Amino acid sequence: MLLLVGLGNPGARYRGNRHNIGFMAVDEIVRRHGFSPWKKRFQGEVAEGVLGSERTLALKPQTFMNESGRAVGEAARFFKLEPKDVVVLYDELDLAEGKVRVKQGGGSAGHNGIRSIDAHIGPEFRRVRLGIGHPGDKKLVLHYVLSDFDRELDGWVKPTLDAVADAAPLLAGSDDNKFMTRVALLTNPPPEKPAKAPQP
């Protein structure tokens, strides 16, 4: 079984925030792959479905970001899951906008949601880092992550979420490199080769 976690803050006022791109990604995966309707469980909202051939529970913690680990820990303990069975999608300041990287384990890099999950299940879970770019000044970070995406300036958001949802079954198969390659191809397709001129 796979526990697929999206990170964000609950409530309408945060819905469009950069910090909530993890929620947005999991919402799109759930919609695209026909999961069950969301219901309240494990201090969060859950939806059940299948990715690839793997039974999958999508989870959006409804604690605030810095307590995300409470919901993740509760769900992981209930299903007796190992950290490697947990995949967390979240915003990453240190990646350019629209870049997506997967890794297992590591530090929190100052992300409060990741720090909380580390504390509850240990660090060896898999992380899908969704690049949102950096405002350029550390003092601007809090305002930046808690501000909404700009629909006109941030045209990369929907294509990235679509690509992550399309490639999500590869996460269930632990094909992290294939997942990253698939997302990159969908968001930056190679240019079409010009058709050869007919021979005279």
CA dihedral 10, 12, 13, 18 (to 10 degrees): 70
Please state which of the ranges 12-26, 54-68, 120-134, 180-194 shows the lowest mean pLDDT. 180-194
Label residues 36-53 b or e (16+ Cβ within 10 Å = b): eebeebbbbbbbbbebee
| Overall CATH class of domain 2-187 | alpha beta
pLDDT of 174 strictly over 80: no
Question: Average pLDDT, stretch 75-104?
Answer: 94
What is the pLDDT at residue 193?
61
pLDDT at 110: 82
What secondary structure letter does DSSP report for 18?
G
What is the CB neighbour count within 10 angstroms for residue 194? 6
Record the tokens describing residue 99, joined without a space: 């870049």
Domain locations in the chain as residue ranges: 2-187
**What pLDDT, on a 0 to 100 scale, did the predictor assign at position 73?**
96
Residue 152 has a pLDDT of 66
Q: Could you read off the pLDDT of 144-167 as tens digits, one per residue? A: 999 999 876 778 999 999 999 999
Q: Which pLDDT value is given to residue 1?
A: 93
- At 191 the pLDDT is 67
Whether the predicted pLDDT of 189 surpasses 80:
no
Reported confidence tier of residue 52, pLDDT bands at 50, 70, 90? confident
Let me know if 143 is a catalytic residue: no
pLDDT of residue 43: 94
Overall average pLDDT of the 44-61 stretch: 95
Tell me the average pLDDT across 101-119. Answer: 90
Given the residues 19, 111, 120, 143, select the one marked as catalytic. Answer: 19
Q: Is the pLDDT of residue 194 over 70?
A: no
Average model confidence (pLDDT) across the chain: 91
**β partners of residue 61:** 44
Reported confidence tier of residue 196, pLDDT bands at 50, 70, 90: low
Q: In what order do the strands lie in the sheet with 2-6?
A: 39-41, 44-51, 54-61, 2-6, 86-92, 126-131, 100-104
